[in-house]
A and B are shown apart, each in its own frame.
Chain A
Amino acid sequence: MMMPCFKQRTDKKRKEADLDCLLHRKSIEYRIRLLKYIKNARAGHTGGSLSCVDILNVLYNCVLNVSPETADDPRRDRYIQSKGHSVEALYVVLADRGFFPESDLETLCRFRSPYVGHPTRKIRGIEHNTGALGHGLAFGAGAALAGKMDGLGYRVFVLLGDGELAEGSNWESMMTAAHYGLDNLTAIVDRNQLQITGRTEEVCALESLVDKFAAFGWSVREVDGHDVTALRKVLSSVPFEVGRPSVVIAHTVKGKGVSFMENDAKWHHGVPSDEEYERAMEELRAQLEEAEP
């Protein structure tokens, strides 16, 4: 459906290796771009965007059956970013997929720009306005339920933050999704271990998350949330069980890709200084060179 096509290769394994190589490069490019727009706007949720961008990369380039042309098609797959604050990652991926010109992002967070600091439906490709936490899963469950009722084959993917899971509304929706057997619904937890105050386990312990989801009737998988190959495989194999909603706990690093931003809660919505920005770009450009095919 949306899989990029590689003409020279015939062998399936080689094709997949090429695809993963391309995805890997794309992730680095996305990091470069999202930092550029955050720097330009002097605002943004840097750490979380860097932690979830590989997930978004794989979803939009390999998994989701949606494109600018099919963004209103009732049969399209739906993506809902419940952790709305990581909108910069979503914006650069949607721009790359052609939902809007990337130059629009020059206006990010500017006066009267529709590109505000959390997702809104004013932007083509965005399904739901999010930002207040604990809302995306109920919405996704409703959309998934409608798909079941109408026999439309679409899937719904909801990205949750780990800190966000303290919102009780998530657990209400988990119960409902399991009750209705919504196997067309997949939640992905960006498990970067951090929230704005510090470590999730110190703020309000979440573990064991696997056991909690399983106890709520979900089929659970864990994955390295920066390994595009592993992400591609796990997200392409939903539902994990017929009749159950699926959850992927993606182990990630907040601030991933920029050494001094990694695993540091201060980059939750930190904006790099000129010097920090240059250092970040140097690191990312070096990664890009290393990733040359």
Chain B
Amino acid sequence: MSGAAAMETAKANLDVFSETLLALARKNRNILVVTSDSRGSGKLVPFAQALPGQIVEVGIAEQNLVGIAAGLASAGKIVFAVSPGSFLTARSLEQIKNDVCYSDHPVKLVGISSGVSYGALGSTHHSLHDLAVLRAIPNCTIVVPADNFETAEAVKAAAEMPHPVFLRFGKRPMPPLHRPGTKFTVGKSLLVRRGNDIAFIATGETVVQAAGACDLLAREGISARVLSMHTVKPLDEEAVLQAAQECGAVVTVEEHSCAGGLGEACAAVLLQSGVSVPFRIVGFPDEETVSGSQLDMMAYYGISPEGLAETARTLLNRKRL
């Protein structure tokens, strides 16, 4: 599919989340959405109109959102607790830790407009810490879908999961990355581009940027592998090791702080397995970020086809040394 054609069919993952959930919930009245005055930003207004008995509004009260979701789940409800990722994973972190994960009530935590989706609104609205904090909490699967297909599959999988899961969505239209018939499994990364010179291991809305870098590098005769590491936890360690061993250089990419996210998870796997290759974590630095659109912000920190291609060239030079 050409780039232009791909963008025509592209929807925001958030839209696909709400459509998929509505379709599931029409067939199962135990499926509930809990929102904290966030149905609009969660694209859940159609859900609320179609199934008013299956949406619970708690007002702007994220701690309450997660606690109530846990109580509903304890009574057999299939609960999607939906709130902006920035608030959901900071304001209610203790509820996530204790009421959901430690108590093992299978709430589906949905961080909407995550990463820097809210771009110019500033740091209060960015969630660049969520993967780090949730990785350190036992009993929390973390899934960050890259495109519409991954999103729909992740929502369906989450509805069936007997333990807590965190889903992270952005709101920019995402072009398709996978062929029809691709099989999605939580915990198993997906190959987006074949290649053996260098590997990009990316997650969420950065995967398409890595694919763009791959296409730029191909013109220079460099074959880059791109993996969509949609499940950040549990990590597909086998794919990480294989990428490093077969490609000999690894760039990780995430719309998240460089501290504690996908990159450090991959680094730990590699070092503890005795695999040492040129390696770079591309994400947001440990400082107050610039503000602007999501794409401008990501590009500023090197998360763009050009920026990632440049990082790859640097690593390839080290690899050749």
Contact = CB atoms under 8 A, between A and B. Distances in A.
Q: Do A and B bind each other?
A: yes
B56 to A, nearest CB: 7
Instruction: Please list the 4 inter-chain residue pairs (A to B) with the smallest Cβ-Cβ separation, ordered nearest first.
Output: A142-B71, A138-B67, A146-B75, A142-B68
Interface stretch (B57-65, B126-134, B218-226): B57-65
B122 interface: no
Contacts, number: 98
B95 interface: yes
A83 to B, nearest CB: 14
Contact of A128 (B64, B77, B94, B99): B99
Nearest to B61: A172
B68 A145 contact: yes
Contacts of A121: 103-104
A135 B99 contact: yes
A141 interface: yes
**Overall SS of chain B's interface:** helix
A127 B103 CA distance: 9
Interface in A140-192: 140-147, 149-150, 168-169, 172-173, 175-176, 179
A139 B99 contact: yes
B172 to A, nearest CB: 32
A134 B94 CA distance: 10
B59, B68, B73, B94 — which one has the most chain A CB atoms within 10 A of its CB?
Answer: B68
B227 interface: no
A176 B72 contact: no
Given A74-B76, A128-B99, A135-B95, A140 B61 contact: no
A135 B71 CA distance: 10
Interface residues of A, number: 31
Contact of A139 (B58, B71, B94): B71
18 contacts: A128-B74, A129-B102, A129-B103, A135-B67, A135-B95, A137-B67, A138-B68, A139-B71, A142-B69, A142-B70, A142-B71, A143-B75, A145-B71, A146-B71, A146-B72, A146-B74, A169-B67, A172-B63
Interface string A110-125: 0000000000110000
A190 B267 CA distance: 50
B76 A146 contact: yes
Contacts of A147: 75
A243 interface: no
A179 B60 CA distance: 14
B108 to A, nearest CB: 14
Interface of A: 74, 120-121, 127-132, 134-135, 137-147, 149-150, 168-169, 172-173, 175-176, 179
B76 A145 contact: no
A172 B94 CA distance: 15
A146 B77 contact: yes
A176 B75 contact: no
B185 interface: no
B98 interface: yes
Interface in B26-78: 53, 56, 58-59, 61, 63-64, 66-77
A141 B56 CA distance: 12
A161 to B, nearest CB: 16
Contacts of A127: 74
Interface residues of B, number: 27
B67 A139 contact: yes
A171 to B, nearest CB: 9
Contacts of A172: 58-59, 61, 63-64
Given A74-B76, A176-B59, A176-B61, A139 B102 contact: no
Contacts of A149: 53, 77
A143 B75 CA distance: 6
A99 to B, nearest CB: 17
B102 A141 contact: no
Contacts of A120: 102-103
Given A139-B71, A142-B70, 11 more contacts: A120-B102, A121-B104, A128-B103, A131-B98, A140-B71, A142-B72, A143-B75, A172-B58, A172-B61, A173-B68, A176-B58
B163 to A, nearest CB: 13
A36 B94 CA distance: 33
Contacts of A128: 70-71, 74, 99, 103, 105
B283 to A, nearest CB: 30
Contacts of A145: 56, 68, 71-72
Contacts of A131: 98
A49 to B, nearest CB: 21
A147 B63 CA distance: 21
Nearest to A127: B74
Interface in B120-151: none
Given A132-B94, A138-B67, A169-B67, A74 B58 contact: no
